[in-house]
Amino acid sequence: MRKSALLAAVLFLLVALVPLAGDAYWLRLGTTMLMYGVIAMAWNFIGGLAGYPSFASAAFFGLGAYAGAVAQKLGVPMGLAWTLAGALSLAFAALLGLALLRLRGHYFAIASLVVAEVLRELVNSATDLTGGGMGLNLPVPHDATVASQSEFFFYAMLALAAITFAAMLWATHSKLGFGLRCIQQNESAADMLGVNTTLYKVAAFMLSGAFAGAAGAIYASWVHYIEPPDVFDVLYSVKAIVMVLLGGAGSVFGPLFGAAIFLSLEELVWRNYLQVHTGVLGLMIVLLVLFLPKGVFSLRLPWRKGKP
């Protein structure tokens, strides 16, 4: 655990140097990577540790985005709005988890997939509060330049990624993570051994919701304008899963690396295949599930076999 923490600290410090070297393009790409890193890490709590294939990332992300945006529209300061958005997603995940986590496997996946659609329709129709299909504009600070803005949101996203990573590292090496691994491998047996499976699963879902929601709130402030199809996009759910599978489900660095690899591929390769890039996404998922269920880092690490 100490080694992972140290490695992560170095990694985050190196990433923090990006604004010194890079231009606006690199900042934007870096912020996007960190954001997806957070969403992937958030998914890892429920999907990687507990083994529940959640498609609720988009729901949490969108809810957080709208919660943060509405709060800011009502005059709440930005930092507080982000915190509130995270808290709201956390509470929402708790209620949702109590209802949905009774389902297992495919049933849970389908049920969680629908949540984002429901929220999108709700936001669409609550025109007074959210602007409905017109979208929602967020206040742009007058005293800031474009460059300082993008730097600010880069660091905000970096801070959130660091917090999320710390939470995940803690969870993985605590009784919570241990219980979740038990659930992932054999839920009935875990129940028989005294694991309060409902409590543990809901806790994992809450952590997942809180961080994905906070990422949504920062995203909303960053892009200044959100609309329902944008923030409740099912691709947030799908990409999070693909990223974690790429990096290695249940591992601490997997989600971050998976996000980086996935977005690099998207940037470097897919721009050349614009017409068929969703086809490439589908192909990647199929190949992943078939050949690398434990992620790209399982490719050539024979000496790590047998390690948890």
Residue 112 or 251: which CB sits closer to another protein? 251
CA 199 to chain centre: 21
Site for another protein in 116-175 (CB under 8 A): 174-175
Distance CA 179, CA 155 (A): 33
Site for another protein in 164-203 (CB under 8 A): 174-175, 178-179, 181-182, 185-186, 188-197
∠ Cα 50 56 62 (to 5°):
140
Shortest distance in whole angstroms from residue 93 CB to another protein: 22
User: Please, are residues 292 and 70 in contact by the beta-carbon 8 Å criterion?
Assistant: no
Burial class (CB within 10 angstroms; exposed 0-12, middle 13-18, buried 19+) of 166: middle
Quickly count: other Cβ atoms within 10 Å of residue 17's Cβ: 9
Residue among 158, 137, 130 nearest 12 (CA): 158
DSSP for 117-152?
A: HHHHHHHHH-HHHH-GGG-EEPPPPTT--HHHHHHH
| Position 252 contacts another protein (CB under 8 A) | no
Shortest distance in whole angstroms from residue 296 CB to another protein: 19
Shortest distance in whole angstroms from residue 190 CB to another protein: 8
**What is the sign, positive or negative, of the torsion defined by CA atoms of 76, 79, 84, 89?**
positive
Quickly count: other Cβ atoms within 10 Å of residue 4's Cβ: 16
Shortest distance in whole angstroms from residue 192 CB to another protein: 5
Residue 279 or 293: which CB sits closer to another protein? 293
Beta strands 225-226 and 136-137 are antiparallel
- Size of interface with another protein, in residues (CB under 8 A): 20
Residue 118 or 193: which CB sits closer to another protein? 193
Residue among 247, 205, 251 nearest 43 (CA): 205
Residue 191 or 266: which CB sits closer to another protein? 191
Residue 27 or 168: which CB sits closer to another protein? 168
| Position 40 contacts another protein (CB under 8 A) | no
Shortest distance in whole angstroms from residue 193 CB to another protein: 5
Site for another protein in 277-296 (CB under 8 A): none
Shortest distance in whole angstroms from residue 308 CB to another protein: 7
Shortest distance in whole angstroms from residue 260 CB to another protein: 26
Residue 147 or 193: which CB sits closer to another protein? 193
| Binding footprint of another protein on the chain (CB under 8 A) | 174-175, 178-179, 181-182, 185-186, 188-197, 306, 308
